[in-house]
Each structure stands twice: as C-alpha cells, then as structure tokens.
Amino acid sequence: MTDLNLLYEAILKGKKKTAIELTNAALEEKADPKSLIDNHMIKAMEEVGRQFENHEIFVPELLMAGRAMKASLNILQPVLQGQGAGVSIGKVVIGTVKGDLHDIGKNLVASMLEGCGFEVIDIGIDMDSAKFVEAIREHKANILGLSALLTTTMPYMKTVIEALKEAGLRDQVKVIVGGAPVSQSFATEIGADGYSDTANSAVTKVKDLLGIL
C-alpha cells in the first residue's frame, strides 16, 4: 500500500518526481482521486502556505511545491473527469494590464492558484481590456486577476472593470487586483471585489470570494 503521508511530504517539499510516482502508485491501488486531493495534496499546500507566511520557506520553495502539486493534479484530472467530476475549483483569467510588463508577481499568484486547484488562464503582459473580456468569454472564467506595478498603469484596471460591465460580464466574474502600488482602498475605489498583496493571501481571497472557504 502506498503511504499517502509520503505524497503529502513530496508536495510539501516540492519533490515533483516523487509526487508523480506516488500519485500513479496510489491510482493503481484504486485510491479515490478526490480523497487524494482533499485529504493529502491540498493539506500539503495549506502547510506550504503556512510555512511561507511564517518565513520558514520562500518563493522558490513555494513554487516547487506548486509545481509538484500541479504535476499530481495533471495525473488525477483525466481520472476525475472520467468519473464525471472536475478537479478545478474555479476558473481564473489573469494578466498584467496594458502599458505594464512586470510579471514576476503575477506569475507567482497564477502558480499558487494553480497549485491550489484552480484552472488558471494566464494571458500575459501589456493586455488591453478587449483581451481580458475575450478571455473571460472564451473560458467562462469566474475570477479575473489584474496585475499592475506602475502607478501609471493602475488606473487601467478600472478601464478593464468598465469594459466588463459594458460586455455584460461583470456579474459573472469576481475581480481581484494586485501589484506593489495597489492597495485595498484603490481596489474599493475602482470597484474591484478583492485585493491581495501576496500570492498566498490571493488564494484565500479568491476562495473567499467564491464562497469555498
């Protein structure tokens, strides 16, 4: 029998190869994929988040855990889909707004969300409102993440929110914003639903917005 604590450990320590091997072994032994995810993998990511908040681990280690988690999820996804269930707990479109190319923070948020079970469509940098609207429509996303690192590009987040309204999509998505110069008060001012200043709290915020906490 596969020791599933080892799967927890592998994800916690970011050991992608081991995580893949253990996930495959567990599946062969007919383990329930949903239970693997809920009782072991997500638990590991929660512990990763806790250690990150306490400065026991740092961004690269966080990403290594996310990478291992994603690899295991990729194996479980087809199985779950075969059973008529989905792995994704929400669909996120994320991007850096027009006029801005800073993407390090945005990428972090994207991979943390992915590691925590969201389906993430990262549309990249320097994106205009039409592209965001198009991506939300195409992927039927329920969360939109906007990133801006320049004070001159922050106001464009409002333009995107206005474009969502015009396209009749505003009620369909929760908008979460972030980036070093962005603040909670700015988020409120432009009519965003949420704001977060770290990749980890972004996950909590998104779950909160979707009512899955």
Partner 1 sequence: MEIFRFFDISFSEISLDMNEAYKLMGYGEHTPGHEVLNIINEIYNELKHCCRPYFGYGLFEGKIIDKEHIQLNNTILNPGRLISSAMKNAELFAAFTATAGNEFDNWLKQIENQDDIVKYFIANTLGSVIAESAVSLVMKNLEQFAFEKNMCISNNYSPGYCNWMLVEQKKLLALFPSGMTKIQLTDSCLMLPIKSISGIVGIGRKVKKRPYGCEICKMKNCIKNQKKYN
Which residue number, 69 or 143, has a Cβ lying nearer to ligand B12?
143
**Nearer residue to ligand B12 within complex by CB, 76 or 187:** 187
Of 37 and 116, CB closest to ligand B12: 116
Q: Please answer whether residues 163 and 129 qualify as being in contact, where contact means their C-beta atoms are separated by less than 8 angstroms.
A: yes
* Two structure tokens written together for 85: 């269930």
Judged by CB, which is closer to partner 1: 101, or 130? 101
Least distance from C-beta 161 to partner 1, angstroms?
19
Quick one: tokens of 192? 């965003």
C-beta closer to partner 1: residue 120 or 136? 120
* Tally: H helices and E strands in the chain: 10, 5
Q: Please, what is the minimum distance in Å from the beta carbon of residue 182 to partner 1?
A: 8
Using CB under 6 A, which of 179, 186, 190, 209 touches ligand B12? 179
Strand-pairing partners, residue 94, are: 122, 145
**Biggest distance spanned by C-alpha atoms of the chain:** 57
Which stretches does DSSP call E strand in the chain? Answer: 91-97, 119-127, 143-147, 174-178, 194-195
Torsions phi, psi of 21, nearest 5? Answer: -60, -45
Q: Could you give the CA distance from residue 36 to residue 34 in angstroms, rounded to a whole number?
A: 5
Report how far residue 196's alpha carbon sits from residue 173's, in angstroms, rounded to the nearest whole number. Answer: 17
Sites for ligand B12 among residues 64-123 (CB under 6 A): 101-106, 108-109
Asked if 188 touches partner 1 (CB under 8 A), the answer is: no
Report if residue 155 touches partner 1, rule: CB under 8 A.
Answer: no
Minimum separation from the CB atom of position 38 to ligand B12 (A) = 24
Q: Pick from 116, 129, 147, 209: which binds ligand B12 (CB under 6 A)?
A: 147
Q: Using only the alpha carbons of the chain, give its radius of gyration.
A: 18
Are the CB atoms for 165 and 129 separated by under 8 Å?
A: no
Residue 145 binds which of ligand B12, partner 1, none (CB < 5-8 A, kind-dependent): ligand B12
State the residues that interact with ligand B12 by CB under 6 A. Answer: 101-106, 108-109, 145-147, 149-152, 176-181, 196-199, 202
Binding site for partner 1 (CB under 8 A): 14, 55, 58-61, 63-64, 66-67, 70, 98-101, 103-104, 107-108, 111, 126, 150-152, 180-182, 197
